[in-house]
Amino acid sequence: MGNQSEVRKNFGLKASNYRLSTTHGNPVDLERMVNLLKPQPDAIVLDVATGGGHTAIALAKYVNKVVAIDITPEMLAEAEVASKQSNINNIVFQMEDVHNLDFPDGQFDIVVSRFAAHHFFNVKKAVREMCRVLRPGGKFYILDCSVFDGDETEKEINRIELLRDSSHQCSYSPRQWNRILEELPLTIQHTAFLKENYDLPQWFDRMGTNHSNQQEIFRILNNISEASKVFYPFGDDYITTYRYEILAIKI
């Protein structure tokens, strides 16, 4: 069911790349997240799809405990290595699928997920589960790849992402995120649409994107409308991307 096997295959093979990724471990991003969440010393945190463990490690320095989950065992192993290198000992690593979390209602004070929601095969079910295990008054945080609002960008940029990574499901635009979250008992506190350049060839190498798919990505970028090209400049050594950041409080 879903794309879990594809996720495990792709990220199992590239797990160490993601532990060492400067994108996922960007200290400016992580500091901004911590400043937004204002974690309390007694807080218990759930980090969904922890990947290389960057988010869990950043928050573990400020809270009582972090439960870091992922469906890829190789990723959990890399995250545990990273935590030991950082002398962090208050993270519990375990295999879990965000679509069916094995936690009781309201267990966590903070639920976070960075750079993962675009892999959730049923994003509505996933965020509903994240919200379920969050206590009333708890903080819900997502940072993920995003695209400009619009039919063309929502379609074509996701075509590019799928060519790079066969486990990709969807990078949602702000308007799409608004529709996804409006059904949940959440009050949105903060959103930000953030522009970023991915360095090439690192962006391709991190996922092992083959040459023909790389060429097709550039063909798509060259053929989008002039209106969309304004938002997606690119060159031989970079591609323009966007992220959407969300902080909400559970009602």
Q: Given this model, what pLDDT does residue 22 score?
A: 58
Residue 154 lies in a domain: no
State whether residue 81 is helix, strand or coil. helix
Structural domain span for residue 43: 4-148+168-197+240-250
Q: Does residue 15 lie within any of the structural domains?
A: yes
Q: How confident is the model at residue 12 (pLDDT cuts 50, 70, 90)?
A: very low
- pLDDT for the residue 208: 87
Give the pLDDT of residue 19: 45
CATH code for position 24: 3.40.50.150
pLDDT at res. 26: 81
Mean pLDDT over each residue of the chain, to the nearest integer: 92
Lowest-confidence segment of 66-70, 206-210, 234-238 by average pLDDT: 206-210
Cβ atoms of 18 and 55 closer than 8 Å? no
Q: Is the model's pLDDT at 25 over the cut of 80?
A: no
Is 230 within a domain? no
pTM value is 0.91
| Residue 94: inside a domain | yes
In the prediction, which pLDDT does 31 show?
A: 96
Q: What is d(CA 180, CA 160) in angstroms, rounded to the nearest whole number?
A: 22
Residue at 144 is within a domain: yes
pLDDT tens sequence across 158-194: 999 999 998 899 999 999 999 999 989 999 999 999 9
**Residue 157 within any structural domain of the chain:** no
In-domain check, residue 212: no
Phi and psi, residue 230, nearest 5°: -55, -35
Domain count, the chain: 1
- How far apart CA 173 and CA 166 sit, in angstroms, is 20
At 98-112, the pLDDT tens digits run 999 999 999 999 999
CA-CA-CA-CA torsion for 87, 93, 98, 102, nearest 10 degrees? -140
In a domain, 227, yes or no: no
